[in-house]
């Protein structure tokens, strides 16, 4: 229990907000930029027209009320730079895409992008803006055959958005599919013409037609007590082996009173993190083919999965210990990774996305906590420096780390503001 509690203390940790970016007092002050390119300020206007009180209240008889209204913040904590989340590769098209969950943005780089220096690398192009419908986006996938990019809105938005290759800027998606709340990972099964998503909140994998749109129902749903799915995140379809691999954080709780009773009154649980593998055609409350779980695995907040079908391996972005773990695809039980990349020379900090470019013998990692992606040799191991670095903010720029924050508290003893993600 102590180890579980310790591990989940990470979840319970909060961001102490110490980085005040500037002052902005009074209406339309000249304080910090509020990412104006992301926000259509005119669209945020309403009938209030700047009045200090709602019109309805102004007509009320007892007008002895405190004033407020359209006032500017005196301080703002916000990250003006992308927070890199997931990653997908298309070596044939020389394309790498990374999702930015901070600003609802897709960044495209050349496969050979970056270099040994930590200087900022400008993306080749971006998809970003109100028309895209992208919000708190998470997983990404590329479809080289149909030249399409897939991404999902995670905890707000509840949509999968599909864009054609080559578009940039503030463009509408080619297709929009409404997906379960909390969808996170995306993986394409080109052979079956399907797209598989992991869903955190309902502990499920949902599989749709590749071309699904609107309110179309999934073809299959993997969900239930036997699945061992527990707060699933990364997902990877191993097409040649007809399997789906899923990374689980280990959180589990019944969704409804009925589910609690049907589950023999199981309460919430902190399970060990795991990677569960299913047949690609699996559906319903089915037992996984294999489960990778235990202390030796060193799994700790496993995020994205990267598959290497050529060498029958997969990589795990292991957020909780700033590492990348590489396992054999067929590993199961409590086994150690065959390789691990970790240490102060690696530049890995808060890894969320990982992808293996087996054609070019490279392994890519996106760092949520460092405004960077790092590229290693595919067989890199230990505390090694990356081959290339792609930074999207000047070296030393702190990553605020907000990800769809939903609450705030004030610690009056330390004069700190506490924000859970």
Stretch 78-97 residues interacting with another protein (CB under 8 A) = 78-79, 83
Q: Work out how close the CB of 147 gets to another protein at its nearest, in angstroms, rounded to a whole number.
A: 20
Q: Which of 22, 30, 40, 117 contacts another protein by CB under 8 A?
A: 40
Structural contact between residues 395 and 388, judged by C-beta atoms closer than 8 angstroms:
no
| Residue located via tokens 């235990």 | 294
Stretch 239-298 residues interacting with another protein (CB under 8 A) = 249, 251-257, 260, 265-270
Instruction: Return d(Cα 241, Cα 229) in angstroms, integer.
Output: 20
Residues 6+ apart with CB under 8 A from 215: 178
Q: What token pair was written down for 21?
A: 């970016």
Q: Which of 17, 190, 283, 393 contacts another protein by CB under 8 A?
A: 17
Size of the site for another protein (CB under 8 A): 110
Instruction: Return d(Cα 212, Cα 352) in angstroms, integer.
Output: 27
| Residue located via tokens 């301080």 | 75
Q: Which of 131, 145, 281, 338 contacts another protein by CB under 8 A?
A: 131
275 beta partners: 247, 292
Instruction: Return d(Cα 247, Cα 232) in angstroms, integer.
Output: 6
Instruction: Point out which span in 112-120, 138-146, 274-282, 409-417 binds another protein (CB under 8 A).
Output: 409-417
Give the containing element (helix H, strand E) for 243: strand 243-248
Q: Work out how close the CB of 6 gets to another protein at its nearest, in angstroms, rounded to a whole number.
A: 5
- Residue 120 burial class via C-beta count within 10 angstroms: exposed 0-12, middle 13-18, buried 19 and up: middle
Q: Work out how close the CB of 344 gets to another protein at its nearest, in angstroms, rounded to a whole number.
A: 17
Q: Which of 48, 122, 281, 338 contacts another protein by CB under 8 A?
A: 48
DSSP class of residue 295 equals: G
Of 57 and 94, CB closest to another protein: 57
Q: Which of 118, 133, 193, 224 contacts another protein by CB under 8 A?
A: 133
- 349 near another protein, judged by CB under 8 A: no
Q: Work out how close the CB of 349 gets to another protein at its nearest, in angstroms, rounded to a whole number.
A: 14
- 18 near another protein, judged by CB under 8 A: no
Q: Work out how close the CB of 113 gets to another protein at its nearest, in angstroms, rounded to a whole number.
A: 25
Q: Work out how close the CB of 315 gets to another protein at its nearest, in angstroms, rounded to a whole number.
A: 23
Helix, strand, or coil (residue 146): coil
Q: Which of 93, 136, 241, 387 contacts another protein by CB under 8 A?
A: 136
- 61 near another protein, judged by CB under 8 A: no
| Closest by Cα among 199, 136, 196, 143 to 174 | 143
Q: Work out how close the CB of 359 gets to another protein at its nearest, in angstroms, rounded to a whole number.
A: 35
- 167 near another protein, judged by CB under 8 A: no
Q: Which of 112, 116, 172, 285 contacts another protein by CB under 8 A?
A: 172
Of 148 and 189, CB closest to another protein: 148
| Closest by Cα among 148, 144, 168, 170 to 160 | 148
| Closest by Cα among 371, 404, 361, 390 to 101 | 404
Instruction: Return d(Cα 275, Cα 373) in angstroms, integer.
Output: 24
Residues 6+ apart with CB under 8 A from 194: 188, 207, 208, 209, 210, 219, 237
- 398 near another protein, judged by CB under 8 A: no
Q: Which of 22, 30, 57, 122 contacts another protein by CB under 8 A?
A: 57
User: Hey, how many other C-beta atoms are within 10 angstroms of the C-beta on 309?
Assistant: 15
- 185 near another protein, judged by CB under 8 A: no
Of 43 and 396, CB closest to another protein: 43
Q: Which of 200, 331, 357, 370 contacts another protein by CB under 8 A?
A: 200
């Amino acid at each position: 229990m102590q180890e579980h509690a310790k591990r989940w203390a990470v979840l319970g940790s909060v961001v102490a907000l110490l980085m005040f970016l500037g002052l902005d007092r009074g209406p339309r002050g000249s304080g910090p930029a509020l990412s104006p390119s992301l926000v259509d300020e005119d669209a945020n206007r309403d009938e209030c027209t700047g009045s200090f009180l709602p019109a309805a209240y102004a007509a009320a008889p007892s007008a002895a009320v405190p004033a407020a209204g359209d006032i500017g913040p005196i301080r703002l904590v916000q990250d003006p730079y992308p927070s890199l989340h997931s990653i997908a590769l298309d070596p044939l098209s020389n394309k790498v895409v990374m999702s930015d969950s901070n600003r609802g943005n897709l960044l495209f780089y050349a496969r050979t992008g970056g270099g040994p220096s930590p200087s900022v690398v400008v993306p080749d192009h971006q998809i970003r803006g109100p028309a895209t419908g992208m919000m708190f986006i998470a997983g990404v996938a590329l479809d080289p055959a149909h030249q399409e990019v897939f991404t999902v809105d995670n905890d707000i938005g509840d949509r999968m958005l599909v864009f054609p290759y080559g578009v940039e800027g503030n463009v509408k998606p080619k297709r929009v599919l409404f997906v379960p709340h909390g969808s996170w990972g995306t993986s394409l099964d080109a052979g079956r013409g399907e797209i598989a998503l992991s869903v955190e909140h309902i502990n499920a994998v949902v599989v749709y037609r590749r071309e699904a749109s609107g309110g179309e129902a999934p073809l299959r749903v993997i969900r239930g007590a036997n699945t061992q799915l527990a707060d699933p995140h990364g997902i990877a379809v191993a097409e040649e082996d007809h399997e789906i691999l899923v990374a689980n954080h280990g959180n589990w709780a019944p969704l409804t009173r009925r589910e609690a009773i049907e589950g023999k009154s199981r309460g919430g649980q902190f399970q060990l993190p795991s990677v569960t593998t299913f047949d690609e055609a699996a559906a319903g409350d089915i037992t996984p083919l294999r489960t990778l779980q235990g202390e030796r695995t060193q799994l700790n907040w496993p995020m994205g999965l990267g598959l290497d079908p050529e060498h029958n391996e997969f990589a795990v972005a292991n957020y909780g210990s700033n590492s990348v773990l590489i396992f054999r695809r067929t590993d199961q039980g409590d086994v150690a990774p065959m390789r691990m990349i970790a240490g102060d020379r690696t530049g890995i900090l808060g890894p969320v996305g990982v992808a293996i470019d087996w054609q070019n013998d490279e392994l890519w990692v996106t760092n949520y906590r460092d405004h960077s992606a790092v590229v290693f040799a595919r067989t890199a191991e230990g505390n090694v420096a990356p081959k290339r670095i792609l930074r999207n903010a000047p070296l030393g720029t702190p990553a605020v780390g907000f990800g769809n924050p939903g609450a705030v508290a004030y610690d009056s003893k330390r004069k700190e503001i506490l924000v859970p993600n």
